[in-house]
Amino acid sequence: MTGRPVTGRPATDAEPLKPLAASSRTVPATTYDCILLAGFGGPEGQDDVIPYLRNVTRGRGIPDERLEEVSHHYRHFGGISPINEQNRELKAALEGEIAARGLGLPVYWGNRFWAPYLADALAELHADGHRRVLVVVTTAFASYSGCRAYREDLATALEQTGLAGELHLDKVRQYFDHPGFVEPNVRAVREGLRSLVADGKGDAMHVMFATHSIPTAAADASGPREALPSGEPVPTGAGETWYEGGGWYVEQQRAVAALIMDRIADEFPEVPFSLVYQSRSGDPSTPWLEPDVNLAIEQLPEDTSGLAISAIGFVSDHMEVVWDLDNEARDTCAERGLAMVRVPTVGVDPVFVSGLVDLIEERHVRAPGDQPRERQALTELGPWQDVCPTDCCRTRDPKPTVASC
């Protein structure tokens, strides 16, 4: 399957089709003082679990008793989420690649929901004399939780620290279709299918691309509003259709999944694939993106010989990956006697790390007049926008953000 052309759907039928505005919403490169790696954060011990979950659910009125009920996957791993250690490794890898290129940019690290917090990182880099900051976020796709929430929390951190007039924060673009993200995923899926073939499970394989489920209302609001996906049903190799709404979150992941399968078609030309969702939470009555990965596994054809799952919506093997896929999805496969391989996320793959620094060099030049790095994108949706319009990934209660226009 190849990716279909996307030219954008106008707000009214009377308007002509126009190209995706994100591809032209760029800003000139400039010189920055440092890099801020912005992550989600996670607990690092049993005593951290409930305070961490309070941070994540703040404002929703959820009692500790309910939080304890949903903490089991953290408790299972000793209260330790792998995400902080993975971000330490990513920070070190970025520092190494930046040094190798002679960019002279120190790297700081801050999280939304656990130490080191974004406010602490901003205070630290300000104390070190830095004023112009380029932010790298550990999410590849456009959504409220993957982009706007980070930009809101960065704006809040500026207010908390009293540095709103002292620091200038910009953010690198979403990198879902940058070669640095795509190529390691292509390699991982290819190797996963090869392992199934080597185990004698290559007769009727299937690939599932798993991503975090979000409310359909949030999916509909994802990305810029002045140009929208076509909304037409898209058939998959499994004979089903993907999301038909008007948001870019699913459209981006659909495009990347199709691209990956195109890239491996030389070796695996007839393998069906689908986009599935995981890690749903919240009110059961609220519509969320479906199908859930476990239901999708149960509904695979009986003759499916092997399943490769790619956690395409994640950049590292953090809690949602190791629990929802490596435990729950694997158990579902075992119940039906289906061989499964969960392929690696990009993590600190050298190609991914190099790609992140390529993104930095799109925005950072060492001296005025220097040429920034050429922007790369492997789908028709990119290169994605440098700054977000005010209605991008908008919620019913929008807050101030950074990196907006």
Q: Are residues 354 and 338 in the same domain?
A: no
List, in sequence order, every beta strand (DSSP E) within 178-291: 205-212, 273-278
Average pLDDT over the chain, rounded to an integer: 90
pLDDT at 358: 98
55-81, pLDDT tens digit by residue? 999 988 889 998 998 899 999 999 999
For the residues 359-385, what does the mean pLDDT come to? Answer: 94
Q: Are residues 167 and 218 in the same domain?
A: no
Q: Are residues 168 and 183 in the same domain?
A: no
How many helices and strands, by DSSP H and E, does the chain display? Answer: 13, 8
Neighbours of 293 (CB within 10 A): 25
Is position 388 within any domain?
no
237-250, pLDDT tens digit by residue? 444 545 667 789 99
pLDDT at 210: 97
For the residues 25-39, what does the mean pLDDT come to? Answer: 95
- 152 closest CA partner among 118, 116, 122, 125: 118
pTM: 0.92
Q: Are residues 139 and 237 in the same domain?
A: no
Long-range contacts of 116-121 (CB under 8 A, 24+ apart): 117/41, 117/157, 118/38, 118/153, 118/154, 118/157, 119/156, 119/157, 119/160, 119/161, 121/36
pLDDT at 17 over 60: no
Edge to edge, what strands does the sheet with 132-137 contain? 107-111, 34-39, 132-137, 168-171
79-112, pLDDT tens digit by residue? 999 999 999 999 999 999 999 999 999 999 999 9
**Residue 53 — φ and ψ, nearest 5°?**
-65, -30
pLDDT at 7: 31
Q: Are residues 275 and 205 in the same domain?
A: yes
Domain boundary among 314, 343, 372: 343
**Residue 221 — φ and ψ, nearest 5°?**
-90, 0
For tokens 């991914």, what's the residue?
A: 352
Q: Are residues 112 and 203 in the same domain?
A: no
pLDDT at 16 over 50: no
Taking the C-alpha atoms of residue 405 and residue 395, their distance in angstroms, rounded to an integer, is: 17
pLDDT at 23: 64
Counting every residue written for the chain, the total comes to 405
Q: Are residues 145 and 216 in the same domain?
A: no
- Whether the Cβ atoms of residue 39 and residue 111 lie closer than 8 Å to each other: yes
Domain count, the chain: 2
> pLDDT category, 11, cuts 50, 70, 90?
very low
What is the CATH classification number for the domain harbouring 147? 3.40.50.1400
Is position 57 within any domain?
yes
Domain housing 110: 21-176+349-363
pLDDT at 14 over 80: no
- 172 closest CA partner among 298, 40, 358, 321: 358
